[in-house]
Amino acid sequence: MNLVLAQSKNKYANPHVANNKTIYPIKLSDSAWKTRLTPMQYYILRQAGTERAFSGKYDHFYEKGTYYSAATLQPLFSSETKFNSGTGWPSFYAPITPDAVRLVKDDGEGMQRWEVVDSKSGSHLGHVFDDGPAPTGKRYCMNSEAMIFVLAGGKPPINSKF
C-alpha cells in the first residue's frame, strides 16, 4: 500500500506521517484523560480500541456539519466528505485539513495498515484504507466514540463527554 507517498491529484493532500519523534502539543496523564473522557472514549482514543461494527452513532448519520476529536475538540472531518462504506463505521474520503490528523504505520493484527490519530494528542481515531471513492480513493474508517458531531452553524464543542 503506497498510501502516504502518493499525493492525491486534487485539493485533498495526504496527512503527514507520524513516527516515534513526532511531538504532540497536548500531553495529559492517564488520570487526566480518564477524567476528560468517558470510559469508551478512553478505551478507543487512548488504548487504540475499536467499537463493534454497526454500533456507532455516526455510522448511518448524514446531517450536515463537522466532526471534532473527542480528545482535543479540534475539527477532524466535514460531513461533505462522509460516505456510506458499508463497513459499519463512519467513513470519510478526506480529513477536514491534512493537518487535522497524522498517520502511523500499524503492523498489528497480522496486517499492514495506517492508523489515523488526532494531530494534537496522538489519540487513536481509526484507520485509513485505499478502497474509498473518488476524488481521493481513501476510506478513513473512524470510531464514532472518538468524535463529537456539531451541526452546520453550531458552536464547537467545549466538553468531550456528551
Catalytic positions: 141
DSSP-derived pairing of the beta strands 139-142 and 124-129: antiparallel
Residue 67, C-alpha cell as written in the block = 466532526
User: Which run of H or of E encompasses 59?
Assistant: none
* Alpha-carbon gap, residue 37 to 30, rounded angstroms: 10
Rounded to an integer, what is the distance from CA 136 to the centroid of its chain?
A: 16
Q: Which residues contact 155 (CB under 8 A, 6 or more apart)?
A: none
Let me know: does 144 contact 159? Beta carbons within 8 Å.
no
* Alpha-carbon gap, residue 39 to 161, rounded angstroms: 10
Residue of 115, 98, 96 lying closest to 45 (CA atoms):
115
